[in-house]
Amino acid sequence: MEGHATIRDLRLGRKTRKPGAKRGAKNPLRAGLRIERVPDPHVVVLFGATGDLAHRKVVPALFHLWVGNLLPERFALVCFGRRPFSDQEIRSALRASLDKHARITPVDEERWAAFASRITYHQGGFDEPEAYASLSKRLDAIDAESGTGGNRLYYLATPASSFPEIVRGLGAAGLDHEKAEGGWRRIVIEKPFGRDLETAVKLNREVGKVFRESQVYRIDHYLGKETVRNILIFRFGNLIFEPIWHRRYIDHVQITVAESIGVEGRGAFYEETGALRDILQNHLLQLLTLVAMEPPANLEAEALRDEKVKVLRAIRPIPVEKVDESVVRGQYGPGWVGATETPGYRSEPSVDPASETETFVAARLEIDDWRWAGVPFYLRAGKRLPKRATEIAIQFKDVPQRLFPTIGEEPEPNLLVIRIQPDEGILMRFAAKVPGLGIDVRPVNMDFAYGSAFTVESPDAYETLILDALLGDASLFTRADEVEAAWRIVDPIIDAWITGGEPDLPNYTSGTWGPEAADELLTREGRRWRRL
């Protein structure tokens, strides 16, 4: 009867908990403690440990969690990679990267020494079965020596093309099995989750053959950002906004992810991705779901993700033949950004001189539900724009009747801006009387900035998300059906671009706000993009 607990077993607490159940959920001593839980003793197996993502983000995040005492004493990091490295060499390489990428500098050498002593290197190809067999033995040895309890987090910081073979390798070696006597197994997968709906479904199927959905953590680092998490608090922790969060009061919503940088040496990657897949399919649509979702029943992962999926399914599909009316793509040519002359995209290293990859995308979407019917959501993302800025702007409708005389421009309607980066905060714009004898009206801002209201620094998004994965909290991770629902929105756009004629690219100068067609997307409806 292995795997089945009797009533008596359960009553006496002699059987291990059901996988995924929150241990300690009814422990009264837990209540009110600042740190909900330190994760169980565990091993992190980092695939792609010699790569850019591991050095820039994953290992610095793990180190900061260690410094913050948020990792257990019984913790080990096994770096898995193709290249030959000794344990000492990988530690030295990671230490050098911390100087560049650590959030808190200088690096505390004493804490680093303790952290580094837990790092080992395991060489192997992702497609070599023997590499996984030897990894399995090594992990068992670590469990025996270090008391890590069989708990393992597999972190895939590799190109997406390697995901299926790593998952298969882990499955073939039995490294996915959660044992009855304890020992969880979780896998973190970095975006992109596929290149289109078909590949996303295929990838989900490949992953699903080995891991249950509850073991899979698809990471979109935007969801770990403090301000993004604050959207939920802002919307559902305050009474005053919910009544006006409705088509009756909101004219439209703009969501912008602007970068001033180019492809920064990642030309080969970007050639295969583009702004649509890199930003809109995940970051922009995730932000849209948080703005548009209905209140979840609770903050459990499934309740939150159910509501997000409902929004994605309610987004009106854009027919392939009408993509040109609702979506604009762009590619940057040479120009000047921040007083520096910059090359065009086609002149970047590893980029095809005749590339048709988009570095800018803007789209107009509509959500067909009672709350949002008729409210357009304008999304834009691009590289080599004048500045780095990510924000959500909720533009309210105008007052039904203007009572007050104005001088010069008409006062603008109310605006609510959730700034995600930089200078995280929330701005509310409203009309106020200009001091003086007349009744002149001018818009003024109420501006909340995280930096001036709280005395603690925000953790990096990767720290938040990795800790959540270690604790088994999937709230901020993307579920398989969520990924597929997002691709269903994006797929017709990809189809239209593939089947359409040759695009006129490049069509915007570096250091400008994208192609003119992006402006026309709004101006033809009497609106305009916010000046950032």
Partner 1 sequence: MSLNSILASSLRWSSRATTVAEADALLAKLWASSEARRFLVSDSPTDATAAAPIAVRTGVMNLAVVANGEERAAHAASILATLPRNPSRTLFIVPRDPEGPATFAARLEVFCAVTPRGDGTSACTELLWIDVGGPAAHHLASIVPPLSLHDLPTLLWWDAPINASESDVRQLLRGVDRVIIDGATQPSDGLATVRALFAAAEGAGVAVTDFALLRQGRWRDAIATMFDEESAAPFLAAITTISIDYSAGKGSSASVNVVRPAYHVAWLASRLNATVQTPLQVDEGDGWRAELRDASRHAIAVELRPVDSVLGAGTTIAVRIAADRRGDHFDLEVRADSTSTRAIAKVNGAVVHERTFQAPRWTEAALLSESLEFGEIDPLSPAIIRTMSALIG
Q: Would you count residue 86 as binding partner 1 (CB under 8 A)? A: no
The amino acid at residue 29 is L
Q: Would you count residue 7 as binding partner 1 (CB under 8 A)? A: no
Question: What SS3 string covers 165-206?
Answer: HHHHHHHHCCCCCCCCCCCCEEEEEECCCCCCHHHHHHHHHH
Q: Would you count residue 104 as binding partner 1 (CB under 8 A)? A: no
Q: Would you count residue 442 as binding partner 1 (CB under 8 A)? A: no
Q: Closest approach of Cβ 36 to partner 1, in Å?
A: 10
Q: Which is nearer to partner 1, 274 or 511 (CB)?
A: 511
Q: Give φ, ψ of 74 to 5 degrees.
A: -90, 85
| Pairwise CA distance, residues 337 & 341, whole Å | 6
Q: Would you count residue 454 as binding partner 1 (CB under 8 A)? A: yes
Please, are residues 377 and 269 in contact by the beta-carbon 8 Å criterion? no
Q: Which of 2, 455, 526, 531 binds partner 1 (CB under 8 A)?
A: 455
Q: Which is nearer to partner 1, 369 or 423 (CB)?
A: 423
Tokens 């939150």 label which residue? 304
Q: Which of 180, 297, 303, 449 binds partner 1 (CB under 8 A)?
A: 449
Angle at 101 between CA 100 and CA 106, to 5 degrees: 70
Q: Which is nearer to partner 1, 174 or 338 (CB)?
A: 338
Q: Which is nearer to partner 1, 9 or 398 (CB)?
A: 9
Compute the chain's Rg from CA coordinates.
25
| Pairwise CA distance, residues 18 & 180, whole Å | 9
Among the residue ranges 17-25, 166-174, 230-238, 524-532, the one whose residues contact partner 1 (CB under 8 A):
17-25
Q: How many CB atoms lie within 10 A of CB 71?
A: 24
**Burial of residue 386 (number of CB atoms within 10 Å: 0-12, 13-18, 19+):** middle
> Among 280, 365, 366, 368, which Cα is nearest to 330's?
280
Q: Which of 2, 18, 32, 405 binds partner 1 (CB under 8 A)?
A: 32
Q: Which is nearer to partner 1, 419 or 479 (CB)?
A: 419
Q: 283 an active-site residue? A: yes
Q: Which of 321, 457, 520, 525 binds partner 1 (CB under 8 A)?
A: 457
Q: Would you count residue 407 as binding partner 1 (CB under 8 A)? A: no
Q: Closest approach of Cβ 107 to partner 1, in Å?
A: 17
Q: Closest approach of Cβ 234 to partner 1, in Å?
A: 17
Q: Would you count residue 72 as binding partner 1 (CB under 8 A)? A: yes
> Among 34, 51, 61, which Cα is nearest to 219's?
61
Q: How many CB atoms lie within 10 A of CB 324?
A: 14
Q: Would you count residue 445 as binding partner 1 (CB under 8 A)? A: no
**Cα 421 to Cα 198, 222, 390, 414, 424, distances in angstroms:** 33, 11, 5, 22, 5
Angle at 48 between CA 47 and CA 52, to 5 degrees: 145
Q: Closest approach of Cβ 406 to partner 1, in Å?
A: 24
Q: Which of 6, 69, 88, 92 binds partner 1 (CB under 8 A)?
A: 69
Q: Which is nearer to partner 1, 187 or 466 (CB)?
A: 466
Q: Which of 74, 138, 397, 442 binds partner 1 (CB under 8 A)?
A: 74
Q: Which of 30, 83, 137, 322 binds partner 1 (CB under 8 A)?
A: 30
Dihedral angle, C-alpha 147, 151, 156, 161, nearest 10 °:
120
Q: Closest approach of Cβ 33 to partner 1, in Å?
A: 6
Please, are residues 62 and 466 in contact by the beta-carbon 8 Å criterion? yes
Q: Would you count residue 144 as binding partner 1 (CB under 8 A)? A: no
Please, are residues 304 and 473 in contact by the beta-carbon 8 Å criterion? no
Q: Closest approach of Cβ 423 to partner 1, in Å?
A: 4
Please, are residues 309 and 479 in contact by the beta-carbon 8 Å criterion? yes
Q: Which of 6, 9, 24, 248 binds partner 1 (CB under 8 A)?
A: 24
Q: Would you count residue 237 as binding partner 1 (CB under 8 A)? A: no
DSSP 363-389: EEEEB-STTTTT-EEEEEEESS-SS-E
Residues 41-60 that bind partner 1 (CB under 8 A): 41
Q: Closest approach of Cβ 462 to partner 1, in Å?
A: 19
Q: Which of 18, 34, 524, 531 binds partner 1 (CB under 8 A)?
A: 34
**Cα 520 to Cα 130, 144, 170, 259, 452, distances in angstroms:** 57, 64, 50, 21, 37
Among the residue ranges 69-77, 276-284, 285-293, 397-405, the one whose residues contact partner 1 (CB under 8 A):
69-77
Q: Would you count residue 4 as binding partner 1 (CB under 8 A)? A: no
Dihedral angle, C-alpha 417, 421, 423, 424, nearest 10 °:
60
Q: Which of 16, 123, 136, 146 binds partner 1 (CB under 8 A)?
A: 16
Among the residue ranges 27-35, 119-127, 314-322, 364-372, the one whose residues contact partner 1 (CB under 8 A):
27-35
Contacts 24+ apart (CB under 8 A), 3-9: 3/180
Q: Would you count residue 295 as binding partner 1 (CB under 8 A)? A: no
Q: Would you count residue 501 as binding partner 1 (CB under 8 A)? A: no
Catalytic-labelled residue, pool 42, 122, 221, 283:
283
Q: Which of 9, 23, 109, 444 binds partner 1 (CB under 8 A)?
A: 23
**Which residues are part of the catalytic machinery?**
283
Which residues sit at the interface with partner 1, rule CB under 8 A?
A: 13, 16-17, 23-24, 26-35, 37-38, 41, 66, 69, 71-74, 422-423, 449, 451-457
